[in-house]
Amino acid sequence: DTAVSQTPKYLVTQMGNDKSIKCEQNLGHDTMYWYKQDSKKFLKIMFSYNNKELIINETVPNRFSPKSPDKAHLNLHINSLELGDSAVYFCASSTPSRASYGYTFGSGTRLTVV
């Protein structure tokens, strides 16, 4: 009964391909996020959805498109993958009314573009 689950855990793909990462949370949280952790372990927010509505959209290439079919799911689709997209992508969730309790993170998706 994992709280925030991401699939796949590992993804190796060639440059130019299109791929998706899925995230699901069963915590009843309202808000979900995508973070990118680069090779230097730096964490940067990419997107945030609240109840299926996009609320944070940081400076991310248009090749990245999040989709939230419902508040329990937030997927990330990446078009025309580039070498620089190689990173670990973390999904997280929280609820604004209890934001002080912090985020719950998924276990990450390690994307390797070759």
Binding mask 63-92 for other proteins (x = CB under 8 A): ---------------------------x-x
Nearest distance in Å: CB 80, other proteins: 27
Cα–Cα distance for residue pair 84/112, rounded to 1 Å: 9
Q: Tokens at residue 20, please?
A: 């998706």
Comparison of 58 and 82: residue with beta carbon closer to other proteins: 58
Q: What is the DSSP letter of 34?
A: E
Cα–Cα distance for residue pair 78/85, rounded to 1 Å: 9
Q: Give one word for 13, left, alpha or beta, with left for phi > 0 and alpha for psi -120 to 50.
A: beta
Interface of this chain with other proteins, residues 7 to 66, rule: CB under 8 A: 31, 35, 40-45, 48, 50, 55-56
Cα–Cα distance for residue pair 93/103, rounded to 1 Å: 6
Segment contacting other proteins (CB under 8 A): 19-27, 60-68, 75-83, 100-108? 100-108
Instruction: Identify whether the C-beta of residue 4 lies closer than 8 Å to the C-beta of residue 23.
Output: yes
Comparison of 15 and 55: residue with beta carbon closer to other proteins: 55
Instruction: For residue 106, state whether it binds other proteins (rule: CB under 8 A).
Output: yes
Q: Which residues bind other proteins (CB under 8 A)?
A: 4, 31, 35, 40-45, 48, 50, 55-56, 90, 92, 94, 96, 99-108
